[in-house]
Amino acid sequence: MPRHIAIIMDGNGRWAKARNLPRALGHRQGVLALKPIVKTCARIGVSVLTVYAFSTENWIRPKSEVDALMSLLMEFLRAETAELKMEGVSIRTIGNISKLPARALAALQESMQRTADEKRMILNLALNYGGRDELVRAVNRWARQGGDQALTEEILANYLDTAGLPDPDLLIRSSGEERISNFMLWQIAYAEIYVTKTMWPDFDPEELIKAIRAFQSRTRRFGAVE
């Protein structure tokens, strides 16, 4: 079983377009799709689930779409935090969340506080996240706090947003796009990548199990000779 699964939840807009629906409805359906994936991961023994919810590049989308995404984030947190706590899920974040709208940030901080003691699984929400931005912020933190040390991989890892967490074993991308889109550039160095043509709103626990079975069929060598 992969300890850490990372997911690029892609295809909400195209899912909606194919059905002649507004993009906002595609995003809403994408949020609904997330809940059973989180529950399934917790129940089958995944330790960390990181989902790409809002990237540093997403701010360039129309304001109406950004506002809708932030509203959906708040709606998800308010509706699901209590149940996630019951499932033993701790909500955390990666990314520069200080840039989020005040109401969204307040809802996020409340949910993190309410679930902070849960140990079954960590749900990492990547919000205002970009892999390059994370690396820049990590180096700046190192320079401020411990810059007198020579920078090594081990030291830099302690300044990343994911400090203390295992790197992803499995990276899943929905919608068929074969790129990593500035997601966890450092952490996925040796992750197994699984791409499915299924749009995120249609990604269900059965699709998740397919991805995990594909992961389990592979031989991970980490640079060693086959």
- Model confidence at 15: pLDDT above 70: yes
The answer to whether residue 202 is catalytic is no
Q: Which of 176-185, 196-205, 212-221 has the lowest mean pLDDT?
A: 212-221
Residue 150: which pLDDT band, with cuts at 50, 70 and 90?
confident
Helices (H), the chain: 12-18, 23-44, 63-86, 102-115, 131-146, 153-157, 205-216
Give dist(CA 169, CA 45) in Å, integer.
13
Average pLDDT of span 62-82? 96
- Model confidence at 146: pLDDT above 70: no
- Model confidence at 79: pLDDT above 80: yes
Which residue out of 10, 161, 167, 169 is catalytically annotated? 10
Strand partners, 172: 7, 194
What pLDDT score does 226 carry?
63
Would you tell me how many other CB atoms lie within 10 Å of the CB of residue 10? 23
Average pLDDT of span 25-41? 97
CATH for the stretch 4-130+169-216: 3.40.1180.10
The answer to whether residue 58 is catalytic is yes
Beta pairing class for 170-173 and 4-8: parallel
- Model confidence at 81: pLDDT above 70: yes
Instruction: Give the burial class of 150: count Cβ atoms within 10 A of its Cβ; 0-12 exposed, 13-18 middle, 19 or more buried.
Output: exposed
Domain definitions of the chain by residue range: 4-130+169-216
What pLDDT score does 222 carry?
72
Give dist(CA 75, CA 115) in Å, integer.
17
Give the CA dihedral 18, 19, 22, 25, nearest 10 degrees.
Answer: -110
pLDDT digits (tens, 9 = 90+) for 166-192: 999 999 999 999 999 999 999 999 999
Quote the pTM value. Answer: 0.95
- Model confidence at 223: pLDDT above 90: no
- Model confidence at 224: pLDDT above 80: no
Which residue out of 12, 20, 58, 140 is catalytically annotated? 58
Q: What DSSP character marks residue 7?
A: E
Average pLDDT of span 63-85? 96
- Model confidence at 225: pLDDT above 70: no
- Model confidence at 221: pLDDT above 80: no
Contact 160, 187 (CB under 8 A): yes
